[in-house]
């Protein structure tokens, strides 16, 4: 069963004016018109809301008027604006999940991993070089990399596109997102040249999305609460950095950019990470459910539903993921990524526009360095929107089977 208790679809036709979705928002049941546009363009992690709502006040943070006044958190630490309790919870959670080595690593906190990404480019490029350093990533790559890299037209670095096409012998920075946004596959470097610098963006390397097969041990790794606990609005990310000088330069970038990172957000993030770790150890409040088991099950269920809906149609396809042993779950499992990377058959030249005509907003493959037959769809929205997505894709699919390939949006 793909429906949930949280959202119930009444009526069967999206064109019916009486058709509606009952959805709970902030505990209040609202009726949404089922023909409303659903925005699955961003990876906004609203799916996590219901879990945290169930945790109630256990994860509330009270910050009184006299707290968080100073700019400084720990002047003995290389990253002087990092709250010690956040550092402790970051190390604890990585140890528990087994997804990254934290021993002998410097932690640098950032306003989201987006700020850390920019700090990493600054730290890895050479100020004295004759020309800007090339920044590359294998397509399909995360759509923000080109825009973030080019935004300030820096003399330190420049966007050089798909890593597969990089053939210069000049210094470069390769961005490796694993599992990858948008397609969910595990990734490695593609250039592998001596002296090449690499940033590993491991935003999705958590058990709800992918099997945890190794403890990542790279020189520079980025993580974020946006995709791990679902608190994108708190804007907290962290970097695990092997080299002290690189960590110092990243810290300097953040000092000059925002003079540190909100202490209030760090304290909140620490509390949330602690709650996640406690839930894994069943130490939490009574009835607290293992966070990762809960979201692994939810993602498995969503992917099963999505695959059922598209089964039997030849209009679009989804990637298939290999089964691998997940050290965290203790079983063989496949990936259940945060995004569905849908490929339409060639006659749908612009699949983003095609889905928009069906009131589903997605992000076109062109933003990820590939063609427009691909679209990325967020799998992290609230249950009611996910239900509408299934309903609409299933209608498109049924119509295609009825009408054949010349399907047009109604």
Ligand X SMILES: Cc1ncc(COP(=O)(O)O)c(C=O)c1O
**Smallest gap from residue 209 Cβ to ligand X (A):** 11
**Smallest gap from residue 180 Cβ to ligand X (A):** 8
**Is 30 strand, coil or helix?**
strand
**Smallest gap from residue 222 Cβ to ligand X (A):** 7
* 41 or 201: CB nearest ligand X: 201
CB hemisphere CA count around 333 (13 angstroms): 22
**Smallest gap from residue 216 Cβ to ligand X (A):** 14
* 41 or 384: CB nearest ligand X: 41
* 229 or 397: CB nearest ligand X: 229
Contact 137, 174 (CB under 8 A): yes
**Smallest gap from residue 8 Cβ to ligand X (A):** 30
Question: Starting from the edge strand earliest in sequence, which strands make up the sheet with 172-177, in order?
Answer: 106-111, 236-241, 220-224, 197-201, 172-177, 133-137, 157-162
* 143 or 277: CB nearest ligand X: 143
* 210 or 226: CB nearest ligand X: 226
* 319 or 394: CB nearest ligand X: 319
**Smallest gap from residue 309 Cβ to ligand X (A):** 24
Which residue of the chain is nearest ligand X when measured via CB?
112
Nearest to 362 by CA among 336, 383, 326, 393: 393
Identify the bridge partners of residue 30 per DSSP, sorted by sequence position: 23
Q: Distance between CA atoms of 366 and 170, rounded to whole angstroms? A: 27
Residue 158 to residues 121, 129, 136, 153, 340, Cα–Cα distance (Å) = 10, 13, 9, 7, 29
Residue 17 to residues 54, 297, 298, Cα–Cα distance (Å) = 33, 34, 31
Burial class of residue 192 in the structure, from the number of CB atoms within 10 Å of its CB (0-12 exposed, 13-18 middle, 19+ buried): exposed
- Applying CB under 6 A, the residues found at the interface with ligand X are 43, 112-114, 142, 177, 181, 201, 203, 224, 226, 232, 237
């Amino acid at each position: 069963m793909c429906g949930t208790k949280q959202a119930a679809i009444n009526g069967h036709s999206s064109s019916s004016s009486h058709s509606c979705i009952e959805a709970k928002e902030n505990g209040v049941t609202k009726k949404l018109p089922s023909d409303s546009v659903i925005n699955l363009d961003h990876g906004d992690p609203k799916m996590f809301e219901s879990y945290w709502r169930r945790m109630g006040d256990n994860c509330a943070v009270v910050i009184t008027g006299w707290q968080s006044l100073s700019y400084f958190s720990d002047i003995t630490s290389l990253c002087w604006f990092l709250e010690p309790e956040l550092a402790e919870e970051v190390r604890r959670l990585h140890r528990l999940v087994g997804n990254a080595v934290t021993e002998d690593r410097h932690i640098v906190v950032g306003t989201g991993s987006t700020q850390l990404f920019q700090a990493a480019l600054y730290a890895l490029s050479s100020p004295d070089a004759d020309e800007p350093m090339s920044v590359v990533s294998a397509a399909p790559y995360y759509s923000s990399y080109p825009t973030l890299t080019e935004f300030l037209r820096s003399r330190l670095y420049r966007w050089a596109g798909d890593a597969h096409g990089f053939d210069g012998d000049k210094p470069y920075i390769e961005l490796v997102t694993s599992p990858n946004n948008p397609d969910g596959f595990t990734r490695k470097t593609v250039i592998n040249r001596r002296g090449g610098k690499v940033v590993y963006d491991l935003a999705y390397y958590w058990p709800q999305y992918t099997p945890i097969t190794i403890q990542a041990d790279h020189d520079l790794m980025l993580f974020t609460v946006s995709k791990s606990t679902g608190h994108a609005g708190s804007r907290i990310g962290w970097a695990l950095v092997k080299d002290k000088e690189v960590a110092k330069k990243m810290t300097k970038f953040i000092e000059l950019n925002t003079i540190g990172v909100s202490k209030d957000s760090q304290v909140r993030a620490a509390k949330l990470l602690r709650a996640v770790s406690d839930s894994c150890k069943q130490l939490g409040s009574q009835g607290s459910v293992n966070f990762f088991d809960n979201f692994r099950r939810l993602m498995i269920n969503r992917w099963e539903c999505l695959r059922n809906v598209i089964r039997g149609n030849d209009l679009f396809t989804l990637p298939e993921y290999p089964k691998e042993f997940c050290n965290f779950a203790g079983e063989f499992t496949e990936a259940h990524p945060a995004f569905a990377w849908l490929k339409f058959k060639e006659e749908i030249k612009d699949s983003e526009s095609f889905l928009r005509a069906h009131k589903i907003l997605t992000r076109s493959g062109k933003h990820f360095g590939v063609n427009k037959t691909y679209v990325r769809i967020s799998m992290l929205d609230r249950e009611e929107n996910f239900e509408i997505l299934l309903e609409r894709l299933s209608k498109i699919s049924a119509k295609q089977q009825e009408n054949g390939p010349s399907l047009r949006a109604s």
